[in-house]
Structure 1
């Protein structure tokens, strides 16, 4: 049986031996928040962006699809260098590119410029996210891996509660370009903090592994299938939820911001339940979390005609998604600590290929059959995710003993 072991940190000021969460986790959490503000920010303001450029909402949402494609390709081709170059160094480089891309997005004169800038932002995120996840796994105190990863993932909550939820209001009150200007300022600030931080990486003489090397690690392929189904379902529904509320239910853009806020609150509230897996066998905790998301999509399929029902279900959606994402990352980073960067690079590649596939693939379905069809399709994908998540345990390839 393999256990999740803490990697030894070279930072002399760390307190991992005492089991205290390192302060660096909060820097990683902030970095995730900045990326989240951009990756989730277009959906609630898509109607205004489309109006500015004189295009349809699905055409405007091509910006999110381009971000996902750029992230996927970058994670596949570049994230493999994280283990050799160093996760902190790669994170600094990525945030420099992200800042420049956001500046171009804010000033884009045509929709194609916005799409190209978001592709570039995705290329930065494709390196930044696996570097962040690798750093979080490395500095996690022994026995507190789930808690550490949960805190880092709270950056997505920050982005939704304090970032994305305000973007619709800013677009209503001022202009959608102000949204991207604000995200640019946050990214530039994070870049400066990362450059000034004391974290340094040692260089490795080993050559970078093949982009697909992670697929040879037992347990990785089925978990990546689960990740792909999970994320395609999320982005396919999330991409068009804002337009459904605005056009389908006749609500103002501010209502989109409220939904994102409630989702973020649910996502954040799940940190209080990070110990729930103690009471569930390891082989069942991730499949059960994905089944919980399946139930939410079924309920959302039936209740999306009521704004109050959407708000309540969105809270549960955030709660269940956090549990699923947390457990998925803990499982993946435990498989081979020496190749975390490679594994998390493949995870990010699959995640944002799913962003691309979900945003573009669900668009025609939304146009033809409406929002209910999207949630039904997402529910079907979650069945696949649950089955794939349990496959490594059924085959005996993955036996993880979680320490708390």
Structure 2
């Protein structure tokens, strides 16, 4: 089953093997997703030298991160339908080219305004890449390979969490902060070169080119599976980011440990999440998406409540964080597989909307749970996150409910 055969993208797969070009395509997509993920996390250790170089405060320089996130969150749903009307490969490579150029330009900025502009352009490029990577995977592969490949490629984001900050720190120390952007751009360029040589120029799905721009959104909104799959992502991510955003502060205060120790604990979480995401496809193929989300959602709910309310020592927290990392890696891969397969005629659109749901979950989680944390205690943050996760389980059950059963209900 080769990525060069567009016919294989339109029909159920009959092979359970990967060709050499498949392996190269997966490696190229992994590298592309990693470069985009690392671009987000590598900023943290170099923000101070950037602010000094631009003669601005840390908060002002941090607007570049905000510009990236806003342009990604807004750009993904706006650009998604275009990929369903034209070649997804062309859209992906255009996005990667924009990401690479904008990232290189980020190293040549002279004030905060130009920094925000280049970061915003990089965000738009990233918004064209990640959803189309997932759409291409869903178009090309079928179960049991589909969840496995999604898990492998998504693990690149977890790896970026683990190594993004250390890489940024090392490069900034060795060759200056601008070298961090050169490094990211180099990875993106390599990814683009690999993908341009092995990906087929997949045509739009049947009727996709004839569908209006808004018609792609209508196609998604008419699908019960897609709507509830997106709701699953939104509620799950709201709970996750609600805990993760304030977890470091809570652990530092409750355990009376240093910032470095907190960082080590979160690094362990990132490593566990990478391992889980890499293996998630095999778990999803064995249990199925519904059972994977249900089991890991219930375990995740118990873990966050334990983290937030139990009197724990550092080692117990470490074990709970690793367990939480595995539940996240397994469940999110299952949710992504459901979403990617929900609307075959508008895969890029639905995956772009999925990306927006992730960022909206980040926004809601950090805002709502932040108010909860400051006004009550972290215990209630854990309880609220568990409730959000349980809502996600319910939404996922509806999303994965067979159509005939749903019609007869």
TM-score, with structure 2 as normaliser: 0.78
From the superposition, tell whether residues 18 and 394 of structure 1 become closer, same or farther in structure 2 (CA, over 3 Å).
closer
Query: Is the Cα contact below 8 Å between 2:229 and 2:395 reproduced in 1?
Result: yes
What root-mean-square deviation, in Å, do the aligned CA atoms of Structure 1 and Structure 2 show? 4.0
What does residue range 249-288 of structure 1 map to in structure 2 within 5 Å?
A: 251-252=258-259, 256=263, 259-260=266-267, 262-272=269-279, 274-277=281-284, 280=287, 283-288=290-295
- Who is 2:228 aligned against? 222
What displacement does 1:190 show? 2.5
Distance 2:285 2:189 in 1: 40
What displacement does 1:356 show? 3.6
From the superposition, tell whether residues 182 and 328 of structure 1 become closer, same or farther in structure 2 (CA, over 3 Å).
same
Distance 1:153 1:147 in 2: 10
- Who is 1:381 aligned against? 388
What displacement does 1:79 show? 0.9
What displacement does 1:288 show? 2.8
* Structure 1 unmatched runs, 5+: 1-5, 400-404
- Who is 1:187 aligned against? 188
Distance 1:46 1:377 in 2: 34
Q: Confirm or deny that 1:298 pairs with 2:308.
A: no
What displacement does 1:65 show? 4.6
TM-score, with structure 1 as normaliser: 0.78
Q: Confirm or deny that 1:20 pairs with 2:17.
A: yes
- Who is 2:84 aligned against? 83
Aligned length: 389
User: Which is worse superposed, 135-144 or 358-367?
Assistant: 358-367
Q: Confirm or deny that 1:9 pairs with 2:39.
A: no
* Residues 45-78 of structure 1, C-alpha deviations (whole Å, 9 max, x = no match): 498579855345xx77665554333222112111
Distance 1:393 1:141 in 2: 16
- Who is 1:206 aligned against? 210
Query: Is the Cα contact below 8 Å between 2:292 and 2:330 reproduced in 1?
Result: no
From the superposition, tell whether residues 264 and 367 of structure 1 become closer, same or farther in structure 2 (CA, over 3 Å).
same
* Structure 2 unmatched runs, 5+: none
User: Which is worse superposed, 364-373 or 87-96?
Assistant: 364-373
Query: Is the Cα contact below 8 Å between 1:218 and 1:398 reproduced in 2?
Result: no
Distance 1:397 1:65 in 2: 44
Distance 2:331 2:359 in 1: 17
From the superposition, tell whether residues 62 and 397 of structure 1 become closer, same or farther in structure 2 (CA, over 3 Å).
farther
1:18 is paired with a residue of what secondary structure?
coil
What does residue range 4-403 of structure 1 map to in structure 2 within 5 Å?
A: 9-10=5-6, 17-21=14-18, 22-23=22-23, 24-42=25-43, 45=45, 48=48, 53-55=56-58, 63-106=64-107, 114-167=115-168, 178-197=179-198, 199-202=200-203, 205-210=209-214, 212-213=217-218, 214-241=220-247, 251-252=258-259, 256=263, 259-260=266-267, 262-272=269-279, 274-277=281-284, 280=287, 283-302=290-309, 307-359=314-366, 362=369, 374-393=381-400, 396=403
* Residues 150-183 of structure 1, C-alpha deviations (whole Å, 9 max, x = no match): 2222222332334345445656888665544432
Distance 2:86 2:400 in 1: 33
Structure possessing the higher radius of gyration over alpha carbons: 2
User: Which is worse superposed, 248-257 or 187-196?
Assistant: 248-257
What displacement does 1:226 show? 1.2
Distance 1:147 1:373 in 2: 35
